[in-house]
Each structure stands twice: as C-alpha cells, then as structure tokens.
Amino acid sequence: MKPYKIIAILCVSLLLGACGITAPRSDEGYADLDSLGIFDTDRTLSLSLGPTILHFAARYIEDDPETEALLSGLDGVRVRIYEINGDGARVARRLDGMSRELQSDGWEPVALIREEGEQVHMLVKAKPDRILGMVVMVSDNTQEAVLVNLMGDLQPEMFGDVMVALEVDTPEVRLASVD
C-alpha cells in the first residue's frame, strides 16, 4: 500500500475516534471488557456508539420522552455478542473473573443471578450524586454471551419501563409507617 493511503487511513481513523461516533474510552463509565476467549467463543457482534450518534438519535425520538431522555444522557454504548462454541464453563469462569476485575476498578455489583446454567452480572460505577456507567454481562453457558456497557449520566428512574418491557420482576417496596 502506498504511504499516502496509509496516512489517509490513519487520519480518518483518528478523526472518527475523536468525533464521538464511537464510545469514548476516556469516559468515567467506560468498562474495560476483555475477550471471552478465542478458543471458546466467536464474536458475532461488536457495536460501539458514541455521544454524537446517541444524541442525534435522541433528537428524532418524538413520541417517547423516556427513551429520548435516556439517549440524551448517554455518552456511549458498547455491545458485544459472542457465540459459545467451546467450553461454556470456562466462559462462565471468565465472566466471573471480569466481574471481579471490574469490582477491583471501582465498579459495584448490583445483581448476580445464577440459575439453570445461566448467569447475569450487573455492575455500576457511581459517584455519590450519579451513576457514571453500567455493565451487564449475560451468558447461558452453552450458546451465547452478551456484554453491554452504558456510559453517561444514568438515572435509575429511566430504567423502569425497560425492566417492565423485559419482564423483570422487581420487589415491591413498602414504606414502614412511623408512629
């Protein structure tokens, strides 16, 4: 390849990386998610959206204010989907290891669900006044694993409709009366 083509490709790559099209690594809510193993998985999807695309999409959501607010508050979304074609137990151990490593980097575990060969890890990175990022890692240990990293100003109330749409049972909160 000619030198000017290499330089042009490098310049375009730098511009795209710096203009907000992909999720920013410098964001406080960015999670360093390792590979789940080249011998046990095939990555079928890798998606990285930055603030430019997310805020652009938010401007065109007219009839759903919750989704518009969620997209406007996000600085980045990263999604990786893996097909498990090897040792599912080894993939599960890697997810556990990724969760421990994220916790050592300041991420707080919110949920850990293990049942019938499936596992879900949910972690958040927060400051006292706001949530900076969220990571959800899901695996059925036999077919597929999904890793999601949301970055930005995440408000817990924004996820109520998402939880209902996903049919996630949430515990009923009862306030104790004060006599």
- How high is the pLDDT of residue 173? 37
Phi, psi of 6 (to 5 degrees): -65, -45
Report yes or no: 75 and 152 within 8 Å, Cβ to Cβ.
yes
- How high is the pLDDT of residue 1? 52
- Please state, in angstroms and as integers, the Cα–Cα distance from residue 158 to each residue in 6, 26, 174, following that order: 44, 24, 21
What are residue 119's DSSP bridge partners? Answer: 114, 139
Q: What is the reported pTM?
A: 0.75
pLDDT band at 137 (very low <50, low <70, confident <90, very high): very high
Both structure tokens of 24: 């920013």
The 10s digit of each residue's pLDDT in 58-83 is 887 777 777 777 778 888 889 999 99
Report yes or no: 157 and 65 within 8 Å, Cβ to Cβ.
no
The 10s digit of each residue's pLDDT in 12-60 is 444 444 445 667 777 889 998 878 888 888 888 888 888 888 878 888 7
Report yes or no: 27 and 133 within 8 Å, Cβ to Cβ.
yes
- How high is the pLDDT of residue 174? 42
pLDDT band at 160 (very low <50, low <70, confident <90, very high): low
Query: Comparing 13 with 139, which gets the higher pLDDT?
Result: 139
